[in-house]
Structure 1
C-alpha cells in the first residue's frame, strides 16, 4: 500500500498558495485492507474512505470508462493493480494530475509542473471531452487563477467547444451545475468564468439569456462601455472587488437580462427592461435550482435597481413602496444586499468605477426612518386588523416625508 497526496493540494503548494483541502490516493490496496486499518467507507460509486483520525478523504486508485451521458455516465474500476499514472490520467487538467509522497517527491507524468510555470490550463488526455462538467470546472479555475496570468490552452478550449456543441452540457444536473457556478462566482475574478464559457460556446447553452446581452448597446451617456454584456461583466467584477456575498453576485449577473429582449429598432434605450427581465431570471433560477435567497434577490434587483439609482428623487410614497417590497422590517439584510447590488451596478461602468454612490446611505436612512415608527401607540389608540396596517403605513409615510425634507 502506497499513499500519495494528489490534485489541488500539490498544485497549490507548488504555486505557493495556502493548502486547504487535501485529497489522498491509495495505490496497491483493497477495500478490506482499508477497513482493517479503521478507515470509514463513504463512496457510493467507488471506494472512498475517511481517515480514522484526520477525517480526510482517501480514494483507492481507479480507472474510469465512459458508459453514458453527462457527469455521472462513467463506470469505475478500482483494484490494487491500478497504477498511480493510470489514476492521474483520468483527471481534468495537467496541473491537477500531480502527486507527491510523504517526502514531497513529485510524480508528474503529464507535465503539470511545466504548465504551472507556463500559466496554462491544459487537459490531461482526450478523455477530458467525456465529462461535460469539466467545461465549468476549467472556466472556474480560469477565474481563480486569472490574477496569476493563467489562460486556457487553445487545444483545451477547442475540446470545451466540442463538448458545448455535442449536447452533453444539457445532461448536467442542476445541482452539479449550480455547485460549479456558485463556486466560480465567489472567485476573485468571476467575470473570467463567464468570459471563458462564452469563448467556448458554453454560455449560449447554459445561460442563453446572459449570452444574448453581448452586442446589445446601451446609451453611452449612462454607459460609456456601451455593450450590455461588457457592463454585466464589469458589475460582476466590482462585486468581487467589494467582497460581496453570493446572493449579490448572482443578482449582479442577472440584473439586466431584460435588455436582451429589447427590439433592435429601440436600441440603445431599454424601456421597462426591469420588468421584462423577470421571466428570464425566473427561468435561469429554476434551471439551476438556485437557493431561494439568490432567487429572490435577483428578481428584486432586476425590478427595482433603477429605483435604487433614482433614490434621491423618489417621492416618499414610492420610497415606502420600495421598502415594503423588500420587507425591510423583518428582512433588513435583504435590503442591504439590494443596496450593494445597485452600487455595484453603478460602479460597473467604464471610467466610473470609483464614483461615489450617495444613494446607498440615503436608502439606509430611509429604511431606518420607516423602522422607527412605533406600533404600540397605534394599538393604544384602538387600531387593529386592516385599520392598524393602514395607520402604520400613514405613520411611516409621515416619517419618510420628514426624512426627505431633512436630508
Structure 2
C-alpha cells in the first residue's frame, strides 16, 4: 500500500500558496485494509475514507467511465490494481494531477509542473468533456489564479464550449452550480469566473439575466465604459477589493439586472431599471437556490443603489424612507453591506476606480443620527402605538435634515 498527497495541496505548495486542506490517494489497498487501520468510510458511491486522527480524506485510487448525463453519470472502479497514473488521469487539469509521496518526490505524468511554469489551465485528456461541472470548476480556477497570470489553454476553452453547446450544463443540479459560484465569489478575481463562462457560451444556461447585460449601452457621460456587462464586471471587481464577503459581492453582481430588459426606445437611458430589476434578482436567486441573505441584499442593492448615489440631492424624508424600507435599523450589518455595494457601483466605471465616495459616510451619519433617538423619551411624552411610530419617524427626519443641510 502506498499513500500520496494529491490535488490542490500539491499544486498550492508548488505555487507557494497556503495549503488549506489535504487530500490523499491510496494505491494498492482495499476498503478492508483501511477499515482495519481505523479509517471511517464516508458515502457509498465513492471509496473515500476519513483518517482516524487528522480527519483528512483518503481515497482509494480509482477510474471513472461515463455512463449517463450530468455530474453523476459515471461508473466508478476502485481496487488495489488501479495505478496512481490511472487515478491522476481522471482529474480535470494538469496542475491538479500531481502527486507527492512521503519523501516529497513528485509524480507528474501529465506535465502539470510545466503548465504551472507556463501559467496555463489545461485539461488532461479528452475525457474532460464528459463532466459538465468542469466548465464551472475551470472558470473558478481562472478566478483564483488570474492575478498570477494564469490563462486557460485554447484547446481547453474549446472543450468548454463543446460542453456548453451540448446542453449538458442543464443536467447539473442547482446545488452544484451554486457551490461553484459561491466558491468563485470568494476568489481573488470573482469577475473572471463570469467572464470565462461568457467566453465559452456557458453564462446563458444558469445566468440568463446576467448574460443579457452585454451589448446593452449606458450613457457615456456617466459610464465611459458604455457596455452594461462590462460595467457589471468592473463593479464586481471593485466589490472584491472592498470586501471579502461573498454576499456583498453577489449583490454587486446583481445590482443592474434591470438594465437587461430596458425597452430599446429608452436606450441608452434606463428609467426605472432599479425596480424592474428586483423580479430578475428573485428569478436568478430561485434558480440557483441561493441562501436567503444573498437574495435579500441583492434586491435591496438593486432597488436602492441610485438613491445613495444622489444622497446630496435627496430630501431628509427620502433618506429616512430609504433607511426604513431597507430595514437599516433592524439590520445595520446588512445595510453596511449595501453601502459597500453602492461604493463598488460608483467606482466600477472607467476612470472612477480611485475616486472617493462620500455618500456612504453621509448615509452612515444619517443612520447613526437616527439611532440616537430614544423611543422611551417619546413614550414618556405620551406617544403610543401608531402615533409613537409617526413621532419616531418625524424625529428621524429632523435629525437627518441637519446632516443634509451641513
Measured against the shorter chain, the TM-score band is over 0.9
Partner Cα distance (2:54, 2:253) in 1: 39
Displacement of 1:205 in angstroms is 1.5
Please tell me the root mean square deviation across aligned C-alpha atoms, in Å. Answer: 1.1
Displacement of 1:20 in angstroms is 1.5
Match of 1:55 in 2: 55
Matched, 1:314 2:277: no
Matched, 1:270 2:270: yes
Matched, 1:239 2:239: yes
Do the aligned residues in 1 keep the contact of 2:242 with 2:340 (CA within 8 Å)? no
Q: Deviations over 1:253-291 (max 9, x none)?
A: 111111111122321101101011111111110011111
* SS of residue paired to 2:374: coil
Ranges of 4+ aligned residues in structure 1 off by more than 3 Å: none
Displacement of 1:244 in angstroms is 3.8
TM alignment of 1:28-47, pairs within 5 A = 28-47=28-47
Consecutive unaligned residues of structure 2, counting only runs of 5 or more, are: none
Partner Cα distance (1:202, 1:19) in 2: 30
Match of 1:210 in 2: 210
Match of 1:227 in 2: 227
Match of 1:26 in 2: 26
TM alignment of 1:98-109, pairs within 5 A = 98-109=98-109
Partner Cα distance (2:266, 2:404) in 1: 35
Do the aligned residues in 2 keep the contact of 1:38 with 1:51 (CA within 8 Å)? yes
Match of 1:123 in 2: 123
Q: Deviations over 1:382-405 (max 9, x none)?
A: 322222222221222222223323
Matched, 1:347 2:379: no
Partner Cα distance (2:43, 2:97) in 1: 21
Do the aligned residues in 1 keep the contact of 2:50 with 2:57 (CA within 8 Å)? yes
Partner Cα distance (1:393, 1:352) in 2: 35
TM alignment of 1:7-406, pairs within 5 A = 7-405=7-405
* SS of residue paired to 2:25: strand
* TM-score between the two structures when normalised by the length of structure 1: 0.98
* TM-score between the two structures when normalised by the length of structure 2: 0.98
Partner Cα distance (2:127, 2:119) in 1: 22
Displacement of 1:381 in angstroms is 2.4
Displacement of 1:111 in angstroms is 1.1
Partner Cα distance (1:181, 1:174) in 2: 10
Q: Deviations over 1:85-112 (max 9, x none)?
A: 1111110101101111011111111111
Do the aligned residues in 1 keep the contact of 2:362 with 2:403 (CA within 8 Å)? no
Partner Cα distance (1:118, 1:394) in 2: 64
- Identify which range, 396-405 or 313-322, moves more after superposition: 396-405
Consecutive unaligned residues of structure 1, counting only runs of 5 or more, are: none
Partner Cα distance (1:43, 1:8) in 2: 22
> How many residue pairs are counted as aligned between the two chains?
406
Displacement of 1:193 in angstroms is 0.9
Partner Cα distance (1:69, 1:386) in 2: 59
* SS of residue paired to 1:353: coil
* SS of residue paired to 1:16: coil
Do the aligned residues in 2 keep the contact of 1:326 with 1:334 (CA within 8 Å)? no
